[in-house]
Amino acid sequence: MNPPGTDPSPAPASSPGAGASVQDWLNWLEAIHPAEIDLGLDRVLVVLRRLFPRKPNARIITVAGTNGKGTTVATLEKLLLAAGRTTGAYTSPHLQDYNERVRLNGTDISDPVLVSAFEKVEEARGKVSLTYFEFGTLAAFVAFAYAGVEDWIVEVGLGGRLDAVNVLDAEFAVITSIDIDHIGFLGDNREVIGFEKAGILRPGIFAVCADPEPPASVLQQAAAQKVDLQVTGRDYQLAQANGDANTVELAVAGDQIKLPAGPLPVQSVAAAVVLARKLLPDVAPSSLGDIARTVSVPGRFELLARSPFVRADVGHNPHAARWLSGQVSAGCRTGSKVHAVYAALADKDVEGVMTAMKSVADQWYFAGLDVPRGLAVDQLVSHARACGITDGEGYGSVSHALDAAIANARPDDCIVVFGSFYTVAEARAKLAGAGS
- Per-residue model confidence as pLDDT tens for the chain (436 residues): 334 444 434 445 578 977 899 999 999 998 887 566 666 789 999 999 999 999 999 999 999 998 899 999 999 999 999 999 999 999 999 999 999 999 999 999 999 999 999 999 999 999 999 999 999 999 999 999 999 999 999 999 887 899 999 999 999 999 999 886 655 555 578 899 999 999 999 999 999 999 999 999 999 999 999 999 999 999 999 999 887 888 999 999 999 999 999 889 999 999 999 999 999 999 999 999 999 999 999 999 999 999 999 999 999 899 899 999 999 998 786 788 999 999 999 989 999 999 999 999 999 999 999 998 899 999 999 999 999 998 899 999 999 999 999 999 999 999 999 999 999 999 999 998 765 4
- Given a contact cutoff of 8 angstroms between Cβ atoms, the answer to whether 266 and 260 are in contact is yes
- Model pLDDT, residue 19: 85
Contacts of 403 (CB under 8 A, 6+ apart): none
Strand segments, DSSP code E, in 161-293 are: 172-175, 206-209, 228-231, 236-240, 247-252, 255-260
H or E stretch including 50?
Answer: helix 42-51
- Model pLDDT, residue 164: 94
Contacts of 164 (CB under 8 A, 6+ apart): 41, 44, 131, 133, 134, 137, 138, 157
CA distance readout (Å), 391 to 131, 203, 358, 367, 423:
42, 53, 11, 14, 21
- Model pLDDT, residue 326: 92
- Given a contact cutoff of 8 angstroms between Cβ atoms, the answer to whether 365 and 397 are in contact is no
DSSP state of 246: T
Give the CA-trace dihedral at 113, 114, 120, 123, to 10 degrees: -140
- Given a contact cutoff of 8 angstroms between Cβ atoms, the answer to whether 328 and 417 are in contact is no
Which residue segments constitute the domains of the chain, with CATH numbers given?
22-292 (3.40.1190.10), 302-433 (3.90.190.20)
By the 10 Å C-beta count (0-12 exposed, 13-18 middle, 19+ buried), 227 is classed as: buried
- Model pLDDT, residue 7: 44
Give the CA-trace dihedral at 358, 209, 234, 352, to 10 degrees: 20
Contacts of 56 (CB under 8 A, 6+ apart): 141, 144, 145, 152, 168
- Model pLDDT, residue 180: 64
Q: How far apart are CA 97 and CA 108, in angstroms?
A: 9
- Model pLDDT, residue 243: 78
Cis ω before 285 (30° cut-off from 0): no
Report the helix count and the strand count for the chain, using DSSP H and E.
15, 17
Strand segments, DSSP code E, in 159-219 are: 172-175, 206-209
